[in-house]
Amino acid sequence: MMAEAASSALKEAQLQRVDAIYIGVMNVEEFVGDSNFAALLTDTLGLAGVPSTRVETASSTGAGVFETAFYAVASGHMKHVLVLAGEKMTHLSTAKTTRILSEAIDRSERRYGATMPALAAMVAQKYAREFNLPQLKLEDILAQVAIKNHANGYLNHYAQFRKIITKDDYLKSQMVSYPLRLYDCAPITDGASAMVLTSQPTPIKVSGIGHATDTSAVRHRTSFTSFNSTKEAAHRAYAMAQLNPSDIQFAEVHDAFTPFEIIGTEDLGFFSAGEGWKALEEGVTLLRGRLPINPSGGLKARGHPVGASGLAQLVEIVYQLRGEAGTERQLERAEIGLAHSIGGLGNNNLVTILERTDGKRILKAGAIPFGEASTRWKPTVEIFRKSLTYTVLRN
Amino acid sequence: MMAEAASSALKEAQLQRVDAIYIGVMNVEEFVGDSNFAALLTDTLGLAGVPSTRVETASSTGAGVFETAFYAVASGHMKHVLVLAGEKMTHLSTAKTTRILSEAIDRSERRYGATMPALAAMVAQKYAREFNLPQLKLEDILAQVAIKNHANGYLNHYAQFRKIITKDDYLKSQMVSYPLRLYDCAPITDGASAMVLTSQPTPIKVSGIGHATDTSAVRHRTSFTSFNSTKEAAHRAYAMAQLNPSDIQFAEVHDAFTPFEIIGTEDLGFFSAGEGWKALEEGVTLLRGRLPINPSGGLKARGHPVGASGLAQLVEIVYQLRGEAGTERQLERAEIGLAHSIGGLGNNNLVTILERTDGKRILKAGAIPFGEASTRWKPTVEIFRKSLTYTVLRN
């Protein structure tokens, strides 16, 4: 699966060989029982010899490996680099997969039985409390995230689930951890994504990357309805790109659980705290809205092969920037796109901004709202014009 | 343990904060049962917020994470970066540790019962066959590697084993896989090492890094008595540093198994193929020899906490270059040192060359013997003068 994605990327980039391979897998050791995976995969690609490094930042691994490869190219030591991410999960029982994924949670909280859906459910409850949403209203907005992303995924032939769901389907779906139902949770997915980064000029460039961590224990944080790691990562990405949140035309936002999409759109500065659900309700984030969120279908419908998801988001953005997302999904305004990926329960997050180099920059006048613009960032890597950017996601 | 190493590094570097943390662990998932480890460790250091990424290249992880951090600094996007590597292994049974480590071996060979010591034993046998060494002679030279490295480790207060061994001790030690005895195999170790990389000018610089992979299956290789991945990595490191093998004054060579040290010194170009054992016998590689190999005691005596070993080698080189290795171990000629780290059974190897910036370069006239000198490498990162470089290795 990863070899298939890589081969297509190299073929599209018209490259037989690259200077290095960066491989993102979250937990191939426990999911599959292999270690030394970077070398194994490189050999599988017929590229034995090429330097190969595995990179991991929990469920944001796909974005983390992209960042790492970006610096390698930006350093001037590499010209063409293959970034390859994937995860194989569906062969295991849900119980085993849940146990493995729970190892990303702080040990002291894990000991009390915390799982990812349980913690996400607490976040959703707290959000409703903090912003005075009645339970029925909360259910309704979470349903709207799921319905929207399934509608987008229906149009994406790389999506794991290509089915439209209704409010009724949502309400009938199994309760996982109140208020989160099955349709609030991203599925268990096998998937791979690949991209070639190059130092040569191309029509798409990496204009901003931000990365930040947070406390391991959720209870040590100052807020449960906002992720500091997203805010800090966004701050850095906007500063590097010298862009405002209002310059972003569309985004892939980490929706492993539906409440995370709403909170994500607030943390990224698209909407004020407690206002994300209103924008959703007003249709702003629909495929044909003012600021489409998760045009790919998101983790919810496209699927969530943990180590691959962050890179699959970037692949989607490249498709949109190139105008190759297909007539039904292609966005009209697609010069600047943002990807937001959450590692663990929001403690190793990345924000990445890609931009068309030939698109007009719609910079708002005035200050960068996320703080002082920094000049120490000098984006130099651009995505290969004919690179792949190819994603396989299947169940 | 990793936090202790990191704290000392930051203290010595007089830094409260860094721009990013790169963390090397080979298999924390299976050894310890934690994932999302980069964020966890960053929080443990009191540095929640700082971007943190885990890097892995099997048993060369310590060198792989150093390479990755080097590119991040060299890109101009980072000023100070903490590189931190470690592994916790001794709490598990030897059987379980062996099973986990065997996952780095090609699946088809693992299925036939191949373990790391068994494969290394085959390499040793093949070496003896190829270079006409009688079995007694083979035993003798392997013993000499173990005796030399234990003698060096005896003088290193970071070493796991500070005991001198004799030929008699060696011969009495348990047979693991003929001809390899217990004293031919690096031990199971808990350990951590840390280093700060900076873009500021310092007296020590990274002059060369080379990295290469090889086939996953050992049987697919063209030679069993030489590692292509070492040769290619060395080629790249020498080209980047514009140095010859004969310019290297001392080296840490991956001696997870004693025959690997002999083969390593040949693959690195210090001695011709089949001649490494002669140099060893002549005392060339002793602490007071012409080309000291493993002044730290090597993986054999200093210990082999798999993910940390590659970085611990570099820490040793920094100590030597700074003249801080202690009166008994300090080398007289210590301006240019090389570290060689093997990932898996020789399929993800790295070679790193560090150099004093104020030392005179003893460049030999003429061509770089490992092939054409390359000019595309521009080393720009230098090791922080007051950085740590600190290693804890204990049992």
Nearest of A380, A385, A390 to residue A69 by alpha carbon: A380
pLDDT, tens digit (0-9, with 9 covering 90-100), for B60-88: 999 999 999 999 999 999 999 999 999 99
Alpha helices in chain A (DSSP H): 2-12, 28-32, 37-44, 61-74, 94-102, 107-110, 116-130, 135-154, 167-172, 228-241, 258-267, 276-281, 298-302, 306-322
Of A75, A103, A212, the CB nearest to B71: A75
CA angle A111, A117, A122 (to 5 degrees): 85
- Of the candidates B35, B215, B216, the beta carbon closest to that of A58 is on B35
With beta carbons under 8 A apart, name residues in chain B contacting A377. 77
State how far the alpha carbon of A6 is from the alpha carbons of A43, A114, A296, A303, B371, in Å: 12, 36, 20, 19, 30
Prior bond of B369 cis (ω within 30°): no
Shortest distance, CA A372 to any CA of chain B (angstroms): 17
A40 and B216 within 8 Å at the Cβ level: the answer is: yes
B376-394 b/e (C-beta count within 10 Å ≥ 16 → b): ebebbbbbbbebbbbbbbe
Q: Pull the structure tokens for residue A38.
A: 């970077």
Structural domains of chain A ordered from first start: 2-90+189-394 (3.40.47.10)
Whether A19 and chain B come into contact, CB under 8 Å, resolves to no
In chain A, residues 293-312 whose CB comes closer than 8 Å to chain B: none
Mean pLDDT on A178-203: 92
DSSP-derived 3-state class of residue B14? coil
Interface probe for B, chosen from A77, A102, A374 (most Cβ of B below 10 Å), is: A77
Confidence of residue A391 (pLDDT cuts 50, 70, 90): very low
Residue B61 corresponds to which tokens in the numbers above? 């992880």
Say how many C-beta atoms besides its own lie within 10 A of residue A215's C-beta: 20
* Distance (Å) from the alpha carbon of A134 to chain B's nearest alpha carbon: 33
Residues of A in contact with B33 (CB under 8 A): 103
Does the beta carbon of B57 lie under 8 angstroms from any beta carbon of chain A?
yes
pLDDT of the residue at B303: 94
Task: Please give, rounded to a whole number of angstroms, the shortest distance from the CA of A227 to a CA of chain B.
Answer: 11
Put simply, the chain B residues between 225 and 244 with a CB less than 8 A from any chain A CB are 228-229, 232-233
- Nearest Cα of chain B lies from the Cα of A49 at a distance, in angstroms, of 4
Mark which residues 187-226 of A lie under 8 Å from B by CB: 211-217
- The predicted-structure confidence for A306-341, as pLDDT tens digits, reads as follows 999 999 999 999 999 999 999 999 999 999 999 999
What's the pLDDT at A30? 96
Looking at the predicted structure, is the pLDDT value of residue A178 above 80?
yes
Q: Helices marked H in A290-385 — which ranges?
A: 298-302, 306-322
Per-position pLDDT tens, chain B of length 395: 899 899 989 988 889 999 999 999 999 999 999 999 999 999 999 999 999 999 999 999 999 999 999 999 999 999 999 999 999 999 999 899 999 999 999 999 998 889 999 999 999 999 999 999 999 999 999 999 999 999 999 999 899 999 999 999 999 999 999 999 999 999 999 999 999 999 988 889 999 999 999 999 999 999 999 999 999 999 999 999 999 999 999 999 999 999 999 999 999 999 999 999 999 999 999 999 999 999 999 999 999 999 999 999 999 999 999 999 999 999 999 999 999 999 999 999 999 999 998 765 544 333 233 333 322 222 334 343 223 333 333 32
Average pLDDT over residues A189-207: 91
Q: Minimal CA–CA distance to B393: which of B252, B157, B191? A: B191
**pLDDT digit string, tens, across residues B315-330:** 999 999 999 999 999 9
Q: What pLDDT is attached to residue B366?
A: 32
CA–CA gap between residue B161 and residue B214 (Å, rounded): 32
Contact criterion met (CB < 8 Å) for A100 and B57? no
Residue among B380, B65, B384 nearest B211 (CA): B65
pLDDT of residue A202: 85
Residues 6+ apart with CB under 8 A from B99: none
Distance from CA of B66 to the nearest CA of A (A): 11
Q: Are A179 and A139 in contact (CB under 8 A)?
A: yes
Instruction: Give the residue ranges of DSSP H helices in chain B.
Output: 2-12, 28-32, 37-44, 61-74, 94-102, 107-110, 116-130, 135-154, 167-172, 228-241, 258-267, 276-281, 298-302, 306-322
Can you say how many angstroms the Cα of residue B340 is from the centroid of all Cα atoms in its chain?
Answer: 5
**Number of neighbouring beta carbons within 10 Å of residue A18:** 25
Question: Cα–Cα distance between B105 and B122 in angstroms, integer?
Answer: 14
Query: How many residues are there in chain A?
Result: 395
| pTM for this prediction | 0.92
Residue A160 pairs in a beta bridge with none
DSSP-assigned letter for residue B187: P
Crossing angle of helices B116-130 and B94-102, in 10° steps, is: 70
